[in-house]
Structure 1
């Protein structure tokens, strides 16, 4: 067992997509062609740069995100995994996740990606009906989605998929039926997100022009509460606000973020946090690639985190988890006197929005609906 303080997660960002989804505000780009050899070398250079700064860390997980990392040549995936395993000591059961789109061409690569070392696939299914998929601008249809899920479950033991709910026209009953279908697929992990209209997306423009009206807040809240109850009853309780898993099947990589442990982010626009530093790579793929070729890394910004900043970030991340936080242990680890305002905590416990089971503090079901306002109130 490695010391928690030496654990390290690795995030690899592949920024390319076939199309840009209208709801997406991630750092993703459509390009006619990608020089796979140049990109493979850039990612390997980034690994070496970061490994030199974290020689005493143990690798616990690798996550290929995007963009659409299932567009990567499996040889690139294999090279990154192989070098990462060489550069860092590692846990015996390193979790290696790759996000994948359900397009037929990409699903055909799942077996090769598993041979490259991927042992967990996360599919962007989003919905099971063609009308919703067209609204969301997805490049696959419902039949392709089912075929991709079948292929993923044949390729690896651990499979998760995403759903987007609270679309215009959704009701509690319609989403309940959607969840019944999702649970029946037999996966160990589900990520269920409510549609949000993010700044700078095509959906923001559409809403501003009156092309559609987002679902009202009351119905969205009712859908959220039903989702929590239904997944819990099915043995897939929420361990984080939007993530549900069977016991022991939680995403170890994402738990690293939410428990505020060190992680390295490489690739365009990737964020990282290691040894008290916050890191951020160049976002535009061409700028990132030229920076790596020039400097041996694609870093755009690197700054020290103050203890107060770290404590606030840890509070924001930790309260998303169903397990909550241990305020005293967190304060001790981060070198601050306290991470929460105890008077505010007591007030919110009395209101039924927080609960304390020593030594941990966590949100109640009602509190999860008001996370942002609660954080603003209790931050020390």
Structure 2
């Protein structure tokens, strides 16, 4: 074992990266036809039993994270805002009891407009949530209907108003290249969003995932690649004019409002994921592990009680690490310091020499040896850049 560890990490990891906590709440009112997340249409919400399982999951994970401080918490789903404010408070009380949650930690909760009420937002804030991410997707009623969303444009606007009222920082999630969408309509969504003065906007290209109705049984008619590219450039320009920095492939933020939780992912930090289907990446001195919890909610709740809820564990190999690191770090438009590669992987950057030389020769990576930063061309053709780092 010692021999294989030496081959994997030259001297091992000398410091552990920051640690985040991801909490998966898997239920939603209705599953959208484009969604390939581990989410389940709501019949009944077993809130108390699921929270019991979450807290037991966290308690059983403590040996893997013992003594490490939690920098950020993220409630994802599903639609976490279906849970009561009292339920979210109970979860966060458990997190504070079991782990050293840092003072001032960013605590984000995803919410959908149709589940939002002023009293509920106030309750989430009182429980300790200090950032919400609203799944708006569009302010256009025709596009909301085409996406199978259960909220309408009035609910979207009301939810954005409430987010701005109750939270100093919040995110509005939007999509573009939607069925039948024009460039003018895509920009109208951005302009409407900017009217609420959001500190953070995410703008995603709609993709047709294979295991979804949109990707498999009923693919919609989407704008062609040229129109979609025009939308991306126009959205970036419009948000830039509004003072928002395009800091990651799909993320824009005002100064000091970038998502700290997501930045930790992209900088190859660690995260413990609890809940049905949640993923973890955990670093130890001699190895980096990826874990996945049992996906189905009821099976997960049953398995936690037996201590059998971790469905998959994989140790990243020396060959995995360059691609795993770059797949995250090169999503950041400003990249990362070159020294972060060795700090996060335990490998010298020299193992990437051939790929780095090819990337710079093709104009996909900037020539600064002290920084790993995609060029504008590299940002536009990120998949081509990342392929160079595959084992």
Cα distance in 1 for residues equivalent to 2:351 and 2:83: 43
Partner of 2:192: 181
The answer (yes or no) to whether the contact 2:72–2:107 under 8 Å persists in 1 is yes
Q: 1:72-221 alignment to 2 at 5 Å? A: 72-104=83-115, 108-207=119-218, 212-221=220-229
CA 1:105 to 1:346, structure 2 compared with 1: closer, same or farther past 3 Å? Answer: closer
Cα distance in 1 for residues equivalent to 2:121 and 2:104: 20
Structure 1 residue 6: Cα displacement: 5.2
Question: Is 1:292 aligned to residue 300 of structure 2?
Answer: no
CA 1:90 to 1:226, structure 2 compared with 1: closer, same or farther past 3 Å? Answer: same
Give the structure, 1 or 2, with the largest relative contact order (CA under 8 Å, sep 6 or more).
2
Structure 1 residue 58: Cα displacement: 0.8
Structure 1 residue 274: Cα displacement: 1.1
Cα distance in 1 for residues equivalent to 2:118 and 2:358: 51
1:65 to 63, 73, 76: 76
Partner of 1:233: 241
Of stretches 309-318 and 344-353 in structure 1, the one that deviates more from structure 2 is 344-353
Deviations 1:49-81 (A, max 9, x none): 122321121111100000010011222211111
Partner of 2:335: 324
The answer (yes or no) to whether the contact 1:63–1:98 under 8 Å persists in 2 is yes
Cα distance in 2 for residues equivalent to 1:90 and 1:35: 26
Structure 1 residue 339: Cα displacement: 6.8
Partner SS state of residue 308, structure 1: coil
CA 1:6 to 1:204, structure 2 compared with 1: closer, same or farther past 3 Å? Answer: closer
Q: TM-score, normalised by structure 2?
A: 0.90
Deviations 1:218-273 (A, max 9, x none): 11112112222222222112111001101110110111111111100000110001
Q: CA RMSD in A?
A: 2.0
Deviations 1:256-309 (A, max 9, x none): 1111111000001100011221110011111101101222x6211122222332
Partner of 1:363: 374
Cα distance in 2 for residues equivalent to 1:39 and 1:14: 9
Structure 1 residue 330: Cα displacement: 0.7
Question: Is 1:55 aligned to residue 63 of structure 2?
Answer: no
Structure 1 residue 341: Cα displacement: 4.0
Cα distance in 2 for residues equivalent to 1:283 and 1:230: 39
**Paired residue total:** 374
Of stretches 148-157 and 10-19 in structure 1, the one that deviates more from structure 2 is 148-157
Cα distance in 2 for residues equivalent to 1:180 and 1:318: 30
2:295 to 256, 275, 283: 283
Partner of 1:28: 39
Partner of 1:257: 265
Partner SS state of residue 103, structure 1: helix
CA 1:103 to 1:329, structure 2 compared with 1: closer, same or farther past 3 Å? Answer: closer
- Structure 1: runs of 5 or more not aligned: none
Cα distance in 1 for residues equivalent to 2:354 and 2:49: 55
Runs of 4+ in 1 over 4 A off after TM superposition: 104-108
CA 1:181 to 1:31, structure 2 compared with 1: closer, same or farther past 3 Å? Answer: closer
Cα distance in 2 for residues equivalent to 1:304 and 1:46: 21
The answer (yes or no) to whether the contact 1:311–1:339 under 8 Å persists in 2 is no
Partner SS state of residue 354, structure 1: coil
The answer (yes or no) to whether the contact 2:24–2:274 under 8 Å persists in 1 is yes
Structure 1 residue 344: Cα displacement: 4.3
Partner of 2:314: 303
Cα distance in 2 for residues equivalent to 1:132 and 1:202: 16
Structure 1 residue 104: Cα displacement: 5.0
Deviations 1:358-377 (A, max 9, x none): 41121122222211111112
Cα distance in 2 for residues equivalent to 1:183 and 1:366: 27
Cα distance in 2 for residues equivalent to 1:145 and 1:108: 17
Question: Is 1:335 aligned to residue 343 of structure 2?
Answer: no
The answer (yes or no) to whether the contact 1:13–1:267 under 8 Å persists in 2 is yes
